Amino acid sequence: MPSDPLDYLSKLPPLQTQHALSRPVSASEYYHASVGTSARTLEQPRHVVFMLRGVMLAELDAAALTQAIAQVAQVNPGIRLRWQGYLGFSRWTSDGALPRLRIVEGCDWDGRSSQGTEFLDEQDLSLTHGPCAEFIWVRQAGSRGILVLRSLHAVMDGMGGMHLLAELFRALRNETLLGSNAVFSDADLMRAMQIPTIKHLPYETCALTGAARGDCVGDDWWRLSLGPVQPRLLSKVALALTDFAHQFSNLPVRIAIPADLRRHVPGLVASTNFSNMLFVHLAKGALPGDFDAQLQAQILARQEAAYPAIYDWLRWLPLTWFDYLLGRRLSNFNTRKPVETVVISNMGKIDLTSLVCPYFAVDDCVVPPMPGNAFVVLYSLNNQIEIMLGLPRILSGQGRRQALTDWLVARFGNTIGQVT
């Protein structure tokens, strides 16, 4: 049986606002850090990115933003982490550089696709030399602006990024910040909970849009703003993607669902990584309730908090080896078997009412999918469905991007301002 909440909570350090952090790098953080490190890799470093678009209410200068960022970093040490050590001796300390502020002028990006977002990667982030995160303020025509939070995934997950954005707007409104209150990691939490792992049988799965075709490297993403939010939206999107994939293969679809571990510790607020994956397998002809039944059974068993024994030795594999074994290379990028059909990151409702300050009122939020495989970011804005679809080019070419777009539009409604 899973451990009693009071039992595992007593094994963890108490929650209190933190101004410094020093602890081992967890296995999940080690994996995220490995992506893009091999000399032969086609992978890019793994980032968490939030792009807030809105109306400039007054001139937002660098001094005001810099001061607000410093306030956020003071009580959220996870945004100034620095990697020390090697292999299993790797540790985080929070004596790294403050997040960088970049000002971009004259960008006309419209929020609809990855086309026009090249400015994001114009400067590198670094786990060892810093900074590990940055804010970008983009001035646009017509009193429009974009505020971007960009961080390496090894130091932050999506919920952590949302927390830091809310903190920044509190600082810009001169309000008290919540801060981060945990010194422990996702691995510490999972070890304390002692959830028995379920043995998974070997599996085969299919790609979302059929077998890889062509020789185009790289990834693209695009946005679908669909109809009104529907009940059981996650399962409906999952089934729509499953049905699309099963046009090309009879193999089961494997859907990866990031799950937030924060729910297991009441009151936990942290920008650092507290997420893990759950997997749902759907055979051809799956019914609407099949996804819900599998996912809920795993959530009830708290399987997202299970700590595989393999995690104890993963950190003894060099980062470059990890990336070489798991990542895309010229020799395998169009031949390797898919690990999952699609990742669906369900962010739920994004409330824009808290993202306002005397300088800037947010009216749109864009969360780009991570590259590397089929990846969907799902959330709602103003009661409308927002889907960010990311695909490697070897899976999106030859009309397949448009076919997937048309399939989802037919299921959920008309797109708004779609870029094709």
Query: Which domains are seen in the chain, by residue range?
Result: 5-412 (3.30.559.10)
pLDDT for res 30:
97
Place 416 in a pLDDT band, splitting at 50, 70 and 90. Answer: low
The 3-state secondary structure of 194-253, one letter per residue: CCCCCCCCCCCCCCCCCCCCCCCCCEEEEEEEEEECCCCHHHHHHHHHHHHHCCCCCCCE
Per DSSP, the chain holds a count of helices (H) and strands (E) of 11, 14
Angle (CA) 24-12-83 rounded to 5° is: 15
Mean pLDDT for 337-358 is 93
Q: Taking 70 as the threshold, does the pLDDT of residue 224 lie above it?
A: yes
Tell me the per-residue pLDDT of 168-207, one tens digit each, with 9 for 90 and over.
999 999 999 999 999 999 999 999 999 998 877 778 999 9
Maximum distance among all alpha carbons in the chain?
59
Helices 319-326 and 27-34, axial angle in degrees (round to 10): 70
Sheet strand arrangement including 100-105:
100-105, 133-140, 144-152, 47-56, 360-366
Q: Taking 50 as the threshold, does the pLDDT of residue 418 lie above it?
A: no
Tell me the per-residue pLDDT of 312-343, one tens digit each, with 9 for 90 and over.
888 899 999 999 988 888 888 888 888 999 99
Strand 384-392 versus strand 133-140 pairing type: unpaired
Length of the chain: 420
Q: How many angstroms separate the CA atoms of 181 and 162, rounded?
A: 16
Looking at 57-66, 252-261, 282-291, which range is the least confident one? 57-66
Tell me the per-residue pLDDT of 275-289, one tens digit each, with 9 for 90 and over.
999 999 999 999 989
Query: Greater confidence, 310 or 124?
Result: 124
**pTM (2 d.p.):** 0.94
pLDDT for res 200:
75
Q: How many angstroms separate the CA atoms of 216 and 390, rounded?
A: 15
pLDDT for res 415:
60
Q: How many angstroms separate the CA atoms of 196 and 331, rounded?
A: 38
Q: Exposed/middle/buried for 152, CB within 10 Å: 0-12, 13-18, 19+?
A: buried
Neighbouring C-beta atoms of residue 331, cutoff 10 Å: 10
Place 2 in a pLDDT band, splitting at 50, 70 and 90. Answer: low
Tell me the per-residue pLDDT of 143-160, one tens digit each, with 9 for 90 and over.
999 999 999 999 999 999
